[in-house]
Amino acid sequence: MRPAVLNPLFAPVTSLAGVGPKQDKLFRYLLERDDTPRLIDLLLHLPSSIIDRRARPKIRDAVPGTIVTLEVTVDRHRPPPPGRSRAPYVVYASDDTGDVQLAFFRGNRDYLEKLLPVGARRYVSGTAQTFEGTLQIVHPDRVVDEAGFRKLPGIDPVYPLTEGLARGALQRAVTQALDRLPVLPEWIDPAVRRRCGFSSFAEALRGVHAPREPEDISPEAPFWSRLAFDELLAHQLALAIVRAQLRRPAGHRHAGDGALRDRIINALPYALTGSQREAAAAIAADLAQPVRMLRLLQGDVGSGKTVVALLAAAAAAETDKQAALMAPTEILARQHLKTIAPLAEQAGMRVAILTGREKGKERRELLARLAAGDIDLVVGTHALIQDDVVFRTLALAIIDEQHRFGVRERLALTSKGEAVDVLVLSATPIPRTLVMTYFGDMDISELRDKPAGRQPIDTRAVAASRISEVIDAIGRALDAGRQVYWICPLVEESETVASMDAEQRFAALEKRFGDRVGLVHGRMRGTDKDRVMARFAGGDLGVLVATTVVEVGVDVPAASIMVIENAERFGLAQLHQLRGRIGRGHLASTCLLIYRELLSDTAEARLKVIRETTDGFRIAEEDLRLRGEGDILGTRQSGLPGFRIARPALHAQLVAQAREAALQIVRDDPKLTGQHGEALRCLLYLFGRDEALPLIGAG
């Protein structure tokens, strides 16, 4: 149960004055929530910059292009002349050094006469400009009287916004939310707090949202650092709790004599790479220990993780136990099955698939076979964690792309057996230093060498103005029998970001190339998607227009060309994942990154990195470096679990400290009891990491 003291912070934002259904929708989008955000979500949305209004020059000394706050007397009003409604409403004002014009386009006369009565003294804040030799402020941000001025903050925070949401509306909401902050118990150890110079959680929030000095919003400064530490501590504590539960002794030995594995290896049409052999051996050794395995298998796209996962499942099957492989999407699950099924069949291992699509009689029969132990390895999606899915003896849970699954889902799968060993597959190469941050304390195997025979990929950046040349080139490639992926940004984003979406591009290409073009996107039904994918894989289609649904796992070795539209909008890791779909067969491959002109520096740097290297680990490091320097695309694009406040590159020191603190807590008070335990529970709820709490029960 959530501590009652938190209730005010979990009230919906719509309980704030001025936040109605329209704002609700905008706030959902801004704060990345499916349902109405709570005040805490709003409060954890931190400013990205400030407006400094402290400059208070005389009119004569105001520097055009800077933000100034002027003390003026209002002289006269000049509404737009009749018939020229597009001219601004101008208010003339002055001080003892000169005149200033305040211009309001489509200004409302009644409103302005109240705001700026002739003869009154006002404080006006905004960006100074010169217009025909006079100082001018167009739409001043603030107009206040003496009393208002005393309350006017010298510094305004500026927040990342979304289209349609006004800065003032967000700021008013935040201010109200701050007023409702309850007195919270302190969860950080006093010694740690002193050493790091942290203020309280509430002080830190106030400090960042109502900065007094520009430094107050710096991620390196104490306020932000305190909040980053809180977020990291919550994350590490949740991991530590889960891990303490998973690692409880009483694991069983889950690896047999190797006979089944040998049969699979003999059935392979290729030789395992050195790192595949090492990873398989490390996993088998873990499985043979009477302690539960918690291992991360990292490998770039195409590095061959699936077959290593299959060997792990085979090791379990040798002891007559079952394994489950859970993938985040239907397409991925089927992809795994396609790699696994022929090998398993030759080796005499029983494999099945269970997704949302298996229904009725088919599903019932499958569940019966699973419960009877007649299936050795079941591959599937979330459908695997439904309550009626029962195993005879589940020994190994393999979780693909785990950062897309929450703790809850992972636990749900592992709870279907006793002391289940866990293998996590990740295609997002994470620098070793960061594994701790994201996955806590896991053993790691890396697939660093690529399978033999892979062709290098020629990657080029092409300006969007040259797209017709690209289309001509695609035409020649199609005539030569090549296959092409054409990637467009997410369909869901098209409503807010002007971009050619996949359907439009599909229509255009279809007009040119006819029925050689297919389309898949996230809004299509699963069966429709699969049908199109199958036609592409079978060579019926020459061009597959797709959103990022092809990002992970999809394997069509014959496709050797990829066009990525609006490449500047993708994160580095995502570009790398996408590109990994080509360069898998025997053909030399080409990747064309189409970008819009006027790239930001970071976008340009990203495209440069992706052109220069295909080494996923290097790309991950560069990604971190670039994002560390403030890429607004943030973590969502990179596929790493989202930290809203902590910046792993910047707060590396805090990551280590939070981890240590979390381990200490779990050692000293694993059930989070007493006052300090209660405070820590608050922390977990505030940062949405409370999923682990049911494991340890009420405090």
Write out the residues near Mg ion by the rule CB under 5 A: 306, 553
Closest contact distance (angstroms) between CB of 190 and Mg ion is 47
C-alpha distances out from residue 603 to 18, 109, 253, 414, 646, Å: 36, 45, 49, 40, 22
For residue 359, the SS3 value is: coil
Query: Among residues 111 and 270, whose Cβ is nearest to ligand ADP?
Result: 270
Site track for ligand ADP across 534-563, x = CB under 6 A: ---------------------x--------
CA distance 645 to 32: 14
Q: How far is CA 84 from CA 90, 131, 573, in A?
A: 13, 19, 53
Q: What is the CA radius of gyration of the chain?
A: 29
Is residue 585 at the binding interface for ligand ADP, with CB under 6 A as the rule? no
Under the binding rule (CB under 6 A), the answer on residue 306 touching ligand ADP is yes
Judged by beta carbon, residue 91 or residue 337, the one nearer Mg ion is 337
Give the nearest distance from C-beta 561 to ligand ADP in angstroms. 18
Contact of 193 with 185, CB cutoff 8 Å? no
Here the tokens at position 329 are: 């999407």
Q: How far is the CB of 563 from Mg ion (least distance, A)?
A: 23
By CB under 6 A, which span of 124-132, 269-277, 539-547, 689-697 interacts with ligand ADP? Answer: 269-277
Q: What part of residues 307-336 is at the interface with ligand ADP (CB under 6 A)?
A: 307
Beta bridge partners of 325: 379, 398
Q: Which amino acid is at 568?
A: E
Q: How far is the CB of 306 from Mg ion (least distance, A)?
A: 5
Instruction: Kindly state the smallest distance separating residue 339's Cβ from Mg ion, in Å.
Output: 8
**Selected range binding ligand ADP among 67-75, 96-104, 294-302, 456-464, rule: CB under 6 A:** 294-302
559's contact among ligand ADP, Mg ion, none, with CB below 5 to 8 A by partner kind, is none
Among 303, 426, 574, 657, binds ligand ADP (CB under 6 A): 303
Segment contacting ligand ADP (CB under 6 A): 246-254, 284-292, 302-310, 485-493? 302-310
Structure tokens at 328: 């985040």
101 is in the binding site of which of ligand ADP, Mg ion, none (Cβ under 5 to 8 A by kind)? none
| 184 backbone dihedrals φ, ψ, rounded to 5° | -105, 150
For residue 624, give both structure tokens. Answer: 């971190």
Q: Which residue is nearest to ligand ADP (CB)?
A: 304
**End-to-end Cα, the chain, rounded Å:** 9
The phi and psi torsions of 251 (rounded to 5 degrees) equal -70, 160
CA distances from 575 to 456, 519, 583, 603 (A): 16, 19, 14, 12
3-class secondary-structure state, position 667: helix
191 binds, among Mg ion, ligand ADP, none (CB under 5 to 8 A by kind): none
Q: What is the DSSP letter of 532?
A: H
Q: Residue of minimal CB distance from Mg ion?
A: 553
Q: What does 276 bind: Mg ion, ligand ADP, none (CB cut-off 5 to 8 Å by kind)? A: ligand ADP
Query: Can you tell me the distance from the alpha carbon of 652 to that of 15, in angstroms, rounded to the nearest whole number?
Result: 37
Query: Of 156 and 401, which has the nearer Cβ to ligand ADP?
Result: 401
- Does residue 425 come out as left (phi exceeding 0), alpha (psi in the -120 to 50 range) or beta? beta
Q: Which of 145, 154, 141 is nearest to 123 (CA)?
A: 145
- The site that binds ligand ADP (CB under 6 A) totals a number of residues, namely 17
Angstrom distance (rounded) from CA 655 to CA 129? 46
CB of 553 to ligand ADP, least distance (A): 6
DSSP 63: P
Phi, psi values for residue 162, rounded to 5°: -125, 155
Of the candidate spans 42-50, 301-309, 403-411, 686-694, the one that interacts with ligand ADP by CB under 6 A turns out to be 301-309
Using DSSP's 3-state secondary structure scheme, residue 655 falls into: helix
Residue 396 and residue 287 in contact, taking contact as beta carbons nearer than 8 Å: yes
Report yes or no: 396 and 313 within 8 Å, Cβ to Cβ: yes
Phi, psi (degrees; rounded to nearest 5) at 85: -65, -15
Q: Which residue among 178, 181, 272, 436 contacts ligand ADP (CB under 6 A)?
A: 272
User: How many C-alpha atoms does 83 have within 13 Å on its Cβ side?
Assistant: 0
Residue nearer to ligand ADP on the CB measure, 237 or 301: 301
- Picked from Mg ion, ligand ADP, none, the partner binding residue 301 (CB below 5 to 8 A depending on kind) is ligand ADP
Q: Which residues pair with 367 in a beta bridge?
A: none
Binding flag, residue 583, ligand ADP (CB under 6 A):
no
302's contact among ligand ADP, Mg ion, none, with CB below 5 to 8 A by partner kind, is: ligand ADP
- Six-digit token string for 361: 């009689």
| Residue 555 contact partner, candidates Mg ion, ligand ADP, none, CB within 5 to 8 A by sort of partner | ligand ADP
Measured from the CB atom, the residue of 165 and 427 that comes closer to Mg ion is 427
Name which position in 47, 107, 126, 299 contacts ligand ADP (CB under 6 A).
299
Using CB distances below 5 to 8 A depending on partner kind, what does residue 339 bind out of ligand ADP, Mg ion, none?
Answer: ligand ADP
Instruction: Count the neighbouring beta carbons within 10 Å of the beta carbon of residue 24.
Output: 16
- Interaction partner, residue 451 (Mg ion, ligand ADP, none; CB < 5-8 Å by kind): ligand ADP
Question: Which of the ranges 252-260, 300-308, 348-356, 385-393 carries the binding residues for ligand ADP, by CB under 6 A?
Answer: 300-308
The answer to whether the CB of 546 falls within 8 A of the CB of 485 is yes
| Least spacing, CB of residue 310 vs Mg ion, in Å | 11
Residue closer to ligand ADP by CB (options 26, 337) is 337
Site for ligand ADP, residues 399 to 428, rule: CB under 6 A: 427
Interface with ligand ADP includes 451 (CB under 6 A)?
yes
Among 107, 207, 219, 304, indicate the residue that binds ligand ADP (CB under 6 A).
304
- Give the list of residues 6+ apart from residue 493 with CB closer than 8 angstroms, or none: 499
User: Smallest gap, in angstroms, from Cβ of residue 296 to Mg ion?
Assistant: 15
Q: How many residues does the chain have?
A: 699
CA distance 297 to 400: 9
Q: Minimal CA–CA distance to 567: which of 534, 600, 541, 529?
A: 600
Asked whether position 270 contacts ligand ADP by CB under 6 A, the answer is yes
Residue 273, contacted partner among Mg ion, ligand ADP, none, CB below 5-8 A by kind: ligand ADP
Residue 637 partner contact from Mg ion, ligand ADP, none using kind-dependent CB cut-offs of 5 to 8 Å:
none
Segment near ligand ADP (CB under 6 A), from 152-160, 304-312, 385-393, 530-538?
304-312
What is the Cβ-side half-sphere exposure of residue 490, based on CA atoms within 13 angstroms? 12
Residues that bind ligand ADP (CB under 6 A): 270, 272-273, 276, 299, 301-307, 339, 427, 451-452, 555
